Amino acid sequence: MIGVLKSMATTMKHALDGNTFTVEYPEEAPEVSPRFRGVHKFSQERCIWCRQCENVCPNDTIQIVTDDQRNGEQYNLHIGQCIYCRLCEEVCPVDAILLTQNFEFTADTKDEFAYNKEQLKNVPWYKDIDPLASREPDRGAWIGEGDGEIDYQ
Amino acid sequence: MLPLQSATPLPDRISGLLGLGQFGVPGELLAGLLASALVATFVLLNTAVAGPWAKRKITASFTDRISVNRIGPFGLGTIVVDSVRLLSKELIIPERVDRPAFDLAPLVLASSALLGFAVIPMGNGIQVADPEIGLAYVFAIASIASLGLVMAGYASSNKYSFLGGLRAVAQNLAYEIPLVLTGVSVVIFAGSLQMSEIVAAQEATLFEVAGVAIPQWFAIVNPFAFGLFLVANLAEVGRNPFDIPEAPTEIVAGYQTEYSSVYFVLFYLGEFIHIFLGGAIIATLFLGGPAGPVLPGIVWFTIKIWLVFLLTQWCRSAVPRVRIDQLITIGWKGMLVLSLANLVLTAAIVGVIA
Amino acid sequence: MSLEQPEPPTGGDEVGVTADGLDYDELAALVGDNVIDREQHVNAEGFVIRPDAVQDTLSTLRNEAGFDHCSAVTAQEYDDRFESIYHLKKFDDPTQQLSVVVPTTKDDPVSESAEPVFRTADWHEREAYDLVGIDYEGHPDLRRILLPETWQGHPLSKDYNQNQPQVVPLREHANPLEEDHSAGEDSDTMFVNIGPHHPATHGVLHVKTVLDGEQIADIEPDIGYLHRCEEQMCQQSTYRHQIMPYPDRWDYTPGGILNEWAYARAAESMADITVPEYAQVLRTMSAELTRICAHLLALGTFGLDVYGDFTAIFMYAVRDREVIQNLLEDLTGQRLMFNYFRLGGVSWDLPEPREEYLEDVRDFIDELPERLEEYHDLITGNEIFQIRCIDTGVLPPEVAKNYGATGPVARGSGIDYDLRRDDPYGYYDELDWDVVTQDGCDNYARVLVRMREVEESAKIISQCVDLLEEWPEDDRDIQANVPRTLRPDEDKEVYEAVEGAKGELGIYMRSDGTDKPARFKIRSPCFSNLQTLPEMSEGEYIPDMVASLGSLDIVLGEVDR
């Protein structure tokens, strides 16, 4: 019986202290960590169309179309299919594809999540945080070359 | 201040006020209907606040959440919105349900609880009828609800509902008897089954502490019976630790699995009215009915039934549900024995004193 | 030693145990003529045996050499043969491993079932039959397990046509649950489908239950509703980058980092990569944070199962997880699907400012005892909870071993088995912590084990924080130098396991010389643990079955993969 009463006292303590841990979301937008991986942002000025992001993507979310001169024509990314692993950002040698902190996106159908180049360029920064500025400068440093002959695939 | 009790029942006073007496039997009937409507509205109002709003707010505060606050002050507008939402849902009637029983079950549940309020003295003379067998009537009418549960469980043609219905009967049988026996111990004290008499019996002063008169509430006179009654009542209304007829994590939602839309609302409503009826019985038998200082009787009465409601929600947040066999064991081997002992002891003590 | 009831052998007298590891020659001599060849796997040696001598070999190895733990059964198809591999271990010392390889011909892929020796082989062989198509002779119930009964073909076999539409007549698909289970008019039992959509199944689990009144007469878990071809996806991804995001999605409670470690360990041992010490500390700390997170969720959902849907426990557990998830978000960039590990290290160092972050972790650890005290008040101290959980869902240690149960389920049955200590990896063997066991064997013991493991994890984390603070500034390598493309040597095979949130999470990989694994097999702890459900709940009441299911703490994402 003591145990039951103790349990009841525990919950009553929580009821009376008046603290809440949930937030009123739209009014009170959560703080997102600088490393958070949200929707991608693409920069055509930086992109060199090396297609490494397309290669590394685990589930073929990125689709790049180039002409026969290897000039970029299309850069499509299905943000509804993406698993937000950030490998594309890690392999990109020029920071052309970045994951913003922006996690707020909606659409009526899944097709609308297939973003093209223009849509990807217009993805806003979340709370104006530029991930390049907020993350540490040594990102990407982990991609080693290994010992011996360098393999450029 | 209006008197706590009134010798004239509510219908008579209404007919007096409106001058319905001259119309004979139809006038009496109309006055009775008006009085019942008044009481029912009061109960349903409480239920409306409790179901979609207070229950959520209370649970939220136990679990450190904010809960409904979008519409109206404190989110009270949710009550309206939720009612519309629930009522506008599609009423799905599964194939092969046992039609009349399936349709009647929610009505039986909701109305049985509502009828119980007819004899409850709510203070300020609000009491539809005051028969001499008031208490027996309340227990009898409240237990009709079990019938509603069996009907729902059996008619739904669903195995979970079936299990839920069976559990509900087993539980109500096991706990109704201790409930009534404990109630009888109060009757022995008061010497009457009439609700107004029971309330009146509790008005006398038991003793005085620093000039404050402590009334002879049976909860104070016999706290043991009060505790027993509280526990048995939890089982009677099917709340933790005795919510096994519904037990969502075991048998989905028990007897109400197949109900949707209006029928579901009736079930939901019926459950809450039942909790409040339980609260009303506890208030009348053990907490002096509508008695209390300063505030009018009806306010005190409301506070008391809400306290009982709060207790059920509090238990939900912190007490595990017992298993069906444990529940039956507790009911027959524990509660029944204790309530019998309580009854015998009370009878002996009252006999010696009187 | 009699054949009927083999006594579990104890230490010293096991065949083949020498001071410096296993003497495989002696073991081969023990099994004798059954061995037709021997292979070298990275983790252990493999004995290739005749397909009709599986039971004989395995029972000899179990009874006389002490291999009492059949971790997993891997099946695969080569160009010229089918192969089933039984990964054997010892509960006493899981570093002593042995793979029993059973080849069968392509024309007649029949091999003897190991089910009579190890009960756990039941489901594992069914899975092998389902996905690869090997027929196990003597198996009591060889049906599909992950795919629907109506599936045509075996998806991991070489001649499987992935583009072939699975045409099944509507008649058979009208209601797959609507089998006629009535046992006639005078039957005393009732058949109930619990799940796939049911509040207590923790996901899409379907439990076929036969009830006798309120008691369970017969019960059979039916899985596969969340099968997402995880093994095949990994087989189509490169070792170096693409596999790592997927382990997060096996056990998403979140056991993410622990799962990543399973893959990282297997791949690193296969490609012979050494991880820098600093990265190992980071790995250990983040993994233990995840473990606390996963155990808290297990506790919260168990609360839901026993208390009902309005209990406060779940929200309190979620509140505490929230703190950890914020910490993990700061570290890894995601709250659930971390993708934090890389082969040879981790992807991020501690976030800057480092002191502030470590201070946050420390604050959480400091507050944890108080929180746990609250849980004990709310849960374990409650008498009604005790009458509900003590002596219900009993799983005796012998049964648990036979079913290959690991993790908190095994430790709740008093089996002292924890890979973090017994088969050390990461930084665990440098730290001071204890393996928690309880002898209750019941639901209560399993809950207690999880709660006490949270304390142990907190101990590990606080030691890691100390280490990270004092780590020399110039030695903070988070990555070994790993080539951009990994191509392990052809026909290298490895089975490595780590202690995941639910138990032994093992990965078997075989390379074929390309940058993608030829076979990727996940040994999911939940899969083996779930098999024990019938043992626990037959004859008990429905609420006890629900509680047992809750205390097993399965994640369907990991069971079905």
The domain segmentation of chain C, as residue ranges, is 12-137, 249-519
Segment (H or E) for C194: strand C190-194
Contact of C312 with chain A, judged by CB distance below 8 Å, is answered with yes
By CA distance, what is B316's nearest residue in A?
Answer: A8
B59 at C interface, C-beta within 8 A: yes
Residue B264 has pLDDT above 80, yes or no: yes
Residue A78 exposure: Cα atoms within 13 Å on the Cβ side: 13
Confidence at residue C178, expressed as pLDDT on a 0 to 100 scale:
58
Angle between helices B99-116 and B144-155 (to 10 degrees): 160
Rg of chain C on CA atoms, in Å = 23
| CB spacing of C546 vs B250 below 8 angstroms | yes
The 8-class DSSP code of residue C17 comes to E
Position B75 pLDDT exceeds 80? yes
How far is C19 from C134, CA to CA, in rounded Å?
A: 38
- Going by pLDDT thresholds of 50, 70 and 90, the confidence category of residue C179 is low
- On the question of pLDDT at C8 being above 70, the answer is no
Structure tokens given for C554: 């399965």
Tokens representing residue B121 in the block? 């003295």
| Nearest-angstrom CA–CA distance, A62 and A55 | 9
**In chain A, count of helices (H) and strands (E)?**
5, 5
Q: Which helix (DSSP H) or strand (DSSP E) does residue C326 occupy?
A: helix C312-332
Contact B196, B236 (CB under 8 A): no
Helix (H) or strand (E) holding C208: strand C206-212
Q: Would you state the pLDDT for residue C183?
A: 56
Q: Which pLDDT belongs to residue B13?
A: 73
Residues C249-519, CATH architecture? Orthogonal Bundle (1.10)
CB–CB contacts below 8 A, A to B: 38
Integer CA distances (angstroms), B157 to A79, B96, B258, C55, C177, in order: 45, 7, 9, 48, 17
Q: What is the pLDDT of residues C225-266, one digit of tens each?
A: 888 888 888 888 888 888 888 888 888 888 888 889 999 999
Per-residue pLDDT band at A151 (split at 50, 70, 90):
very low
Tokens 């473990």, located at residue = C291
CB contact (8 A) between residue B65 and residue A10: no
Q: Kindly report, residue by residue over B209-246, the tens digit of the pLDDT.
A: 776 777 778 887 788 888 888 888 888 887 778 888 88
- Identify the pLDDT of residue C59: 86
For position C1, what pLDDT does the model report? 38
Segment 217-236 of chain C within 8 Å of chain A by CB? 233
Q: What is the pLDDT of residue C7?
A: 46
A25 in a domain, yes or no? Answer: no
Our CA-based measurement puts residue A111 at a distance from the nearest CA of chain C, in whole angstroms, of: 22
Residue B98 near residue B268, CB atoms below 8 Å: no
Residue B65 contacts A where some CB pair is shorter than 8 Å: yes
Ramachandran quadrant class, A19 (left: phi over 0; alpha: psi -120 to 50; beta: rest): beta
Sequence-separated (6 or more) residues with CB below 8 Å from residue C184: none
Cβ within 8 Å, pair B65-A7: no
- Using the Cβ of B314 and the Cβ atoms of chain A, whether some distance falls under 8 Å is answered with yes
Q: Which two tokens stand for residue C278?
A: 């600093």
| Of the candidates C491, C519, C501, the residue with the CA atom closest to the CA atom of residue C449 | C501
Task: Spell out which residues of chain B touch residue C318, defining contact as CB-CB under 8 Å.
Answer: none
Is there a contact between B198 and B133 (Cβ–Cβ < 8 Å)?
A: no
Helices (H), C132-236: 170-173, 230-235
Confidence band, pLDDT 50/70/90 cuts, at residue C184:
low
What's the N-to-C CA distance of chain C in angstroms? 40
Which residues on chain A are in Cβ contact (under 8 Å) with C237?
58
Q: Which residues of B touch C546 (CB under 8 A)?
A: 249-250
User: Can you give the pLDDT at residue C4?
Assistant: 45
Residue C385 contacts A, CB cutoff 8 Å:
yes
The pLDDT, as a whole number, for residue C6 is: 45
The whole-number average pLDDT for the span B4-26 is 70
Note whether A85 contacts C244, CB cutoff 8 Å: yes
List chains touching C (3+ CB pairs under 8 A): A, B
Q: Find the mean pLDDT for residues A20-45.
A: 82
Residue C476: per-residue pLDDT: 80
Q: What is the mean pLDDT of residues B127-147?
A: 84
Residue C169, preceding peptide bond in cis (omega within 30° of 0): no
Domain that holds residue A85: 34-134
- Candidate from B60, B63, B314 with C-beta closest to A8: B314
Higher pLDDT, C408 or B190: C408
Closest listed residue to residue C352, CA positions, set C375, C330, C321, C326 = C330
Q: For residue C467, what are the contacts with CB-CB under 8 A and spacing of at least 6?
A: C281, C427
Output the domain CATH number for residue A48.
Answer: 3.30.70.3270
Q: Is residue C376 within 8 angstroms of chain A, CB to CB?
A: no
Interface touch B240/C385, C-beta < 8 Å: no
Question: Could you tell me which of C119, C47, C73, C41 has the C-alpha nearest to residue C523?
Answer: C73
With cut-offs at 50, 70 and 90, classify the pLDDT of residue C180: low
> Which pLDDT score, from 0 to 100, does residue C115 have?
85
Q: Which residues contact C466 (CB under 8 A, 6 or more apart)?
A: none
Closest by CA position to C447, among listed C548, C554, C322: C548
pLDDT score, position B163: 86
Percentage of residues in chain B having pLDDT higher than 70 = 96
| pTM across the whole model | 0.86
3-class DSSP state of B72: coil
Q: Sort C190 into a burial class: Cβ within 10 Å, 0-12 / 13-18 / 19+.
A: middle
Report ipTM for this prediction.
0.82
Contact residues, chain C, for B251 at CB < 8 Å: 542
Q: Which chains border A (3 or more CB–CB pairs < 8 Å)? A: B, C
Option in C339, C386, C484 nearest A151 (CB)? C484
Report chain A's terminal Cα–Cα distance, integer Å.
70
Residue found under tokens 């507790």: B330
Q: Minimal Cα–Cα distance from C391 to chain B, Å?
A: 13
pLDDT (0 to 100) of residue B95: 83
Q: Where are the domains of chain B?
A: 92-353
- Token pair of C268 as six digits: 């690193």
Instruction: Tell me the torsion sign for CA atoms B148, B149, B154, B156.
Output: positive
Calculate how close chain A gets to B60, using CA atoms only, in Å.
8
| pLDDT value at A29 more than 60 | yes
Given a cut of 80, is residue B9 above it in pLDDT?
A: no
Q: Looking at the complex, does the CB of residue A153 fall below 8 Å from at least one CB of chain C?
A: yes
Rg, chain A, Cα only? 22
Exposure b/e, C537-549, CB count within 10 A at least 16 = b: beebbbbbbbbbb
- pLDDT score of A143 more than 60: no
Q: What is the pLDDT of residues C407-449, one digit of tens each?
A: 899 998 888 888 888 888 888 888 888 888 888 888 899 999 9
Q: At what angle do helices C277-307 and C256-271 cross, to 10 degrees?
A: 140
- Sorting pLDDT into bands at 50, 70 and 90, what band is A153? very low
Distance of alpha carbon C454 from alpha carbon C448, whole angstroms: 10
Q: Which CATH architecture has domain C12-137?
A: 2-Layer Sandwich (3.30)
* Plot region of A111 (φ>0 → left; ψ -120 to 50 → alpha; else → beta): alpha
Nearest residue to C383 via CA among B244, B60, B318? B318
Q: What is the mean pLDDT of residues C322-340?
A: 88
Task: Give the whole-angstrom CA distance, residue C359 versus residue C366.
Answer: 10
The whole-angstrom separation of Cα C496 and Cα C264 is 10
- Residues A60-96 as b/e (b if ≥16 CB within 10 A, e otherwise) read ebbebeeeeeeebeebbbbbeebbbbbbbbbbbeeeb
- What mean pLDDT value characterizes chain B? 83
Nearest CA of chain B to the CA of C242: how many Å?
39
Q: Which of residues 10-39 of A touch B (CB under 8 A)?
A: 10-12, 14-15, 18-24
Percent of chain A surpassing pLDDT 70: 83
Secondary structure of C486-538 in HEC code, one letter for each residue: CCCCCCCEEEEEEECCCCEEEEEEEECCCCCEEEEEEECHHHHHHCCHHHHHC
What pLDDT, on the 0 to 100 scale, is given for residue C9? 45
CA–CA separation, B23 vs B32, rounded Å? 13
Confidence (pLDDT) at C155: 87
Nearest to A4 among B60, B66, B319 (CB): B319
Count structural domains, chain A: 1
Q: Is the Cβ pair C388, B248 closer than 8 Å?
A: no
pLDDT for B2: 42
Length of chain B: 354
> What mean pLDDT comes out for the span A121-150?
60
Query: Does A147 reside within a domain?
Result: no
**Nearest-by-Cβ selection for C241 from A83, A87, A141:** A87
Q: Please check the confidence at residue C176 and state whether its pLDDT lies above 70.
A: no
Mutate to test the interface with C, among B313, B323, B324, B330 (most CBs of C within 10 A): B323
Q: Mean of the pLDDT values across residues C77-98?
A: 87
Is there a contact between B65 and A4 if contact means CB atoms under 8 Å apart? no
Mean pLDDT of C167-186: 60
C83 Cα to chain B: minimum distance (Å): 42
Measured distance CA(C391)–CA(C411) in Å, rounded: 16
Name the more confident of C335 and A133: C335
CB-CB neighbors (< 8 A) of C316 in chain B: 63-64
Question: Which residues 55-74 in chain A show a CB within 8 A of chain C?
Answer: 56-59
| Mutation for C interface: B249, B311, B333, most C CBs within 10 A | B249
